[in-house]
């Protein structure tokens, strides 16, 4: 356990000295909290804005608004759009950290001396994964907390507050978030074992965000409705995906493979 | 301390090391010599349980490869081909991280000891990215020593160092030998191998020769004695060549260079013959063959097997 802890400390000491990483880890959560709050603020100060978008809300979504006022429904709809950003956070942060960390070790050629120590594959992968997942998940939760507190302070109306704290958001942030973080790390590990440039690895790994965007845009187009049940289904699917990805990552992290098969 | 039996490593269609048999004694400094792509690094990696042999096995520091590799790794220190240091971290942080990985008890004490031993203590807080090649190499050597292993595997410890740094590293290695550690080193520096190693293995996928540096010279070349004469007349060469035990005679400037097996017993007869033929002998001495010549001779006998490219 001490080795995992030491790896996490070492990763953070190293990777946060990189300004790209620091930017992603600091900037994305601020954006995720500030954007919806800014929009809520705009709505609160100009009520006309609400009636305008009221007409654009997909019919399926309006059904979710059963006992909300028209204004609350519009606010809720707008905030719901930002769930996408909250799903980007736990994916992007671990991907960035893991890509820079692993390709960093490749360029400095530190993996070989590290593998000469009596470290196990599980400790090495566990340490790297924890170092990437913890900031991703923490940042997501902090941003969500900031959004909830900010919305409460702004007096958005009890209907919206209830929705921000309903199972849909809670499952998304607290269940899907960590699962996505795990997906991000596993994908980044796999991609980084083949890549030589951290930016490329990061961008390639971010392709896993496409299916999530697809689900989201399907809702905007009124094709599906993202509710708590769908979020839960996504979570179950992610568990299966993560298990497979992790198994591949563990295989790639065998000493022999790292030293002879990685590029 | 190290017993290698039929060790073989193949990468897809390349055979990097073939059927290596070798025993390295406790406290010995053993050197692998060989051209690029000869399998030296591959051999060290197998001995450090970093990669698995395709076939054959080895016992290192009392542990057989593949049986308790973690215990083996705890008792072996490796200096890898590239120093492999975290550039953004300080020298001390680099070492303390590895000390934790090796499960060293007194991390700070051990880090301090080896930073001081290698003359890096003053610069312990600077990030390694600012270090010179030599300082990095010293830090990497310190890292290989942190857990005080009984067996040390050093891949080209002085390559890329200036003469002074190389000498410091060599002296450090001599110190390790005096402490009774077993050391295997890869080198391209024949002079270094000659001075530092108790025995040398010339490797080119297979082990071509194995002996002490002095014996290797003798085996490959025989011994050469040079006779300095005040004036060299052509008949002197014939006088010497007449002896059945003389393998070869060359005349160079005013000197006769004679190849024979046993100068201690054969020289007196040659000297007597030369003197009675009227030669004025000034000096007699033995030529010490450089290991480089031995090495090049071995390689050309090998049929100049083509280099198969560097390791990745
Ligand atoms: N991971 C690998 N995959 C494929 N071939 C490899 C791999 N590692 C080494 N080889 C091959 O094995 C052979 C031996 O390489 P090795 O690095 O052991 O040589 P070396 O004696 O250390 O050479 P050098 O003096 O250049 O360091 C080479 O032909 C090399 O190309
Ligand atoms: Mg090598």
Does residue B201's CB lie within 6 angstroms of at least one atom of ligand 1? no
What's the ipTM? 0.89
Q: Which of A108, A110, A255 sits opposite B50 (nearest CB)?
A: A255
Facing residues of B211 across strands? B200
Q: Residue B178: helix, strand or coil by DSSP?
A: helix
CA A259 to ligand 1: nearest atom: 1
Over residues B137-195, the pLDDT tens digits come to 999 999 999 999 999 999 999 987 888 888 888 998 999 999 999 999 999 888 888 88
pLDDT at position B141, please?
A: 94
B8 membership: H or E segment, kind and range: strand B2-11
Range of the domain at A184: 2-260
Q: Which residues of A touch B (CB under 8 A)?
A: 2-3, 6, 10, 13-14, 17-18, 108-120, 255-256, 259-260, 263
> Virtual CA dihedral for A189, A191, A196, A199, nearest 10 degrees?
-90
Q: Is A23 exposed, middle or buried (0-12, 13-18, 19+ CB in 10 A)?
A: exposed
Instruction: Give residue limits of the domains in chain B.
Output: 2-216, 221-287
- Numbers of helices and strands, H then E, in chain A: 15, 0
Mutate to test the interface with A, among B13, B43, B50 (most CBs of A within 10 A): B50
Ligand nearest the Cα atom of residue B203: 1
Tell me the two tokens of residue A247: 């198994």
Tell me the two tokens of residue B158: 């002085």
Q: Show the DSSP H helices in B120-185 as ranges.
A: 133-145, 163-178
Alpha-carbon distance of B90 to B111, in angstroms, equals 12
Q: How many CB atoms lie within 10 A of CB B288?
A: 11
Q: Which of A14, A111, A119 sits opposite B101 (nearest CB)?
A: A119
Q: Would you say residue A56 has pLDDT above 80?
A: no
Of all protein residues, the one whose alpha carbon is nearest to atom 30 of ligand 1 is B311
Mutate to test the interface with A, among B16, B17, B73, B86 (most CBs of A within 10 A): B86
Alpha-carbon distance of A184 to A205, in angstroms, equals 7
Residues of B in contact with A115 (CB under 8 A): 50
pLDDT at position B61, please?
A: 94
Residues of B in contact with A113 (CB under 8 A): 78, 80, 84, 98, 140, 143-144
Q: Would you say residue A248 has pLDDT above 50?
A: yes
Interface subset of B 34-73, CB within 8 angstroms of A:
45, 48-52, 70-71, 73
Of all protein residues, the one whose alpha carbon is nearest to atom 22 of ligand 1 is B41
Q: Would you say residue A247 has pLDDT above 50?
A: yes
Mutate to test the interface with A, among B100, B103, B125, B147 (most CBs of A within 10 A): B100
Full-model pTM: 0.85
Residue A185 in contact with residue A133, Cβ under 8 Å?
A: yes
CB contact under 8 A, A113 and B102: no
- B221-287 adopts what CATH topology? Alpha-Beta Plaits (3.30.70)
Residue A152 in contact with residue A41, Cβ under 8 Å?
A: no
Alpha-carbon distance of B253 to B231, in angstroms, equals 9
Q: In what order do the strands lie in the sheet with B223-229?
A: B248-252, B255-260, B223-229, B281-287
pLDDT at position A263, please?
A: 79
Q: Provide the shortest C-alpha distance from residue B286 to chain A (in Å).
A: 45
A185 membership: H or E segment, kind and range: helix A177-192
pLDDT winner (highest mean) among A76-90, A131-145, A218-232, B189-203: A131-145
Cα Rg, chain B, nearest whole Å: 24
pLDDT at position A48, please?
A: 66
What is the per-residue DSSP string for B232-256? --HHHHHHHHTSTT--EEEEETTEE
Does residue B308's CB lie within 6 angstroms of at least one atom of ligand 1? yes
Q: Would you say residue A52 has pLDDT above 70?
A: no
pLDDT at position A10, please?
A: 96
Start-to-end CA distance of chain B, whole Å, equals: 30
Nearest to B199 by CA among B55, B64, B2: B2
Q: Ligand 1, residues B13, B32, B37, B295: which to mutate, most atoms within 8 A of Cβ?
A: B37
Q: What is the second-level CATH architecture of the domain B2-216?
A: 3-Layer(aba) Sandwich (3.40)
The DSSP bridge pattern shows strands B151-155 and B182-187 to be parallel
Residue A179 in contact with residue A235, Cβ under 8 Å?
A: yes
The DSSP bridge pattern shows strands B2-11 and B14-24 to be antiparallel
Question: What are the mean pLDDT values of chain B's consecutive 10-residue runs (312 residues total)?
Answer: 95 94 95 93 96 96 94 96 94 97 95 94 95 92 95 92 87 90 91 89 92 78 84 88 89 87 89 91 84 76 52 41
Q: Residue B60: helix, strand or coil by DSSP?
A: strand
Entry field: residues in chain A: 263
Alpha-carbon distance of B296 to B280, in angstroms, equals 36
Alpha-carbon distance of A165 to B189, in angstroms, equals 70
Q: How many CB atoms lie within 10 A of CB A258?
A: 22
Residues 6+ apart with CB under 8 A from B50: A112, A115, A116, A255, A259, B78
pLDDT at position B311, please?
A: 41
The DSSP bridge pattern shows strands B223-229 and B248-252 to be unpaired
Alpha-carbon distance of B228 to B274, in angstroms, equals 11
The DSSP bridge pattern shows strands B199-204 and B29-33 to be parallel
Does residue B36's CB lie within 6 angstroms of at least one atom of ligand 1? yes
Q: Residue A177: helix, strand or coil by DSSP?
A: helix
- The structural domain count of chain A equals 1
């Amino acid at each position: 356990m001490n080795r995992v802890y030491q790896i996490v400390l070492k990763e953070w000491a190293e990777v946060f000295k990189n300004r790209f990483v620091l930017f992603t880890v600091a900037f994305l959560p601020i954006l995720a909290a500030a954007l919806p709050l800014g929009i809520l603020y705009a709505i609160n100060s100009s009520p006309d804005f609400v009636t305008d978008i009221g007409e654009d809300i997909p019919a399926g979504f309006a059904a979710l608004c059963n006992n909300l006022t028209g204004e609350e429904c519009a606010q809720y709809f707008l905030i719901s759009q930002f769930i996408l950003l909250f799903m980007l956070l736990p994916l992007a942060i671990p991907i960035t950290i893991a890509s820079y960390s692993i390709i960093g070790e490749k360029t400095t050629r530190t993996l070989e001396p590290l593998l000469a120590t009596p470290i196990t594959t599980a400790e090495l992968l566990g340490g790297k994964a924890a170092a990437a997942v913890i900031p991703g998940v923490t940042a997501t939760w902090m941003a969500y907390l900031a959004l909830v507190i900010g919305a409460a302070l702004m007096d958005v109306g009890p209907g919206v507050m209830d929705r921000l704290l309903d199972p849909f958001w809670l499952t998304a942030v607290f269940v899907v978030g960590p699962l996505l973080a795990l997906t991000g790390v596993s994908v980044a590990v796999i991609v980084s074992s083949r890549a030589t440039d951290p930016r490329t690895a990061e961008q390639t790994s971010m392709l896993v965000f496409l299916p999530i965007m697809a689900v989201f845009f399907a809702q905007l187009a009124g094709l599906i409705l993202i509710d708590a049940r769908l979020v839960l289904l996504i979570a179950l699917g992610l568990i299966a995906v993560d298990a497979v990805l992790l198994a591949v990552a563990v295989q790639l992290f065998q000493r022999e493979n790292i030293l002879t098969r990685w590029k | 301390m190290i017993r290698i039996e039929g060790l073989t490593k193949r990468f897809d269609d390349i055979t990097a090391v073939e059927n290596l048999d070798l025993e390295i004694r406790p406290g010995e400094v053993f050197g692998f010599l060989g051209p690029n792509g000869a399998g030296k690094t591959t051999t060290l990696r197998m001995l450090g349980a970093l990669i698995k042999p395709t076939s054959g096995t080895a016992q290192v520091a009392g542990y057989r490869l593949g049986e308790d590799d973690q215990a083996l790794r705890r008792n072996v220190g490796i200096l890898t081909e590239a120093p492999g240091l975290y550039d953004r971290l300080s020298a001390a942080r680099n070492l303390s991280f590895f000390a934790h990985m090796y499960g060293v008890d007194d991390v700070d004490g051990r880090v301090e000891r080896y930073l001081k031993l290698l003359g890096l203590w003053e610069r312990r807080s600077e990030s390694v990215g600012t270090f010179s090649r030599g300082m990095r190499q010293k830090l990497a050597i310190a890292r290989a020593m942190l857990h005080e292993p009984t067996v040390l595997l050093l891949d080209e410890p002085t390559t890329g160092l200036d003469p002074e740094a190389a000498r410091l590293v060599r002296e450090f290695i001599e110190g390790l030998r005096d402490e009774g550690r077993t050391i295997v080193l890869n080198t391209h520096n024949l002079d270094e191998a000659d001075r530092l190693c108790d025995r040398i293995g010339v490797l080119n996928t297979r082990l071509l020769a194995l002996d002490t540096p002095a014996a290797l010279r003798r085996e490959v070349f025989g011994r050469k004695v040079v006779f300095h004469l005040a004036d060299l007349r052509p008949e002197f060469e014939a006088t010497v060549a007449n002896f059945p035990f003389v393998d070869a005679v060359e005349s160079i400037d005013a000197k006769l260079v004679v190849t024979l097996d046993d100068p201690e017993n054969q020289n007196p007869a040659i000297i007597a013959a030369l003197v009675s033929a009227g030669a004025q002998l000034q000096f007699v001495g033995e030529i010490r063959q450089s290991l480089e010549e031995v090495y090049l001779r071995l390689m050309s006998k090998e049929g100049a097997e083509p280099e198969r490219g560097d390791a990745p």
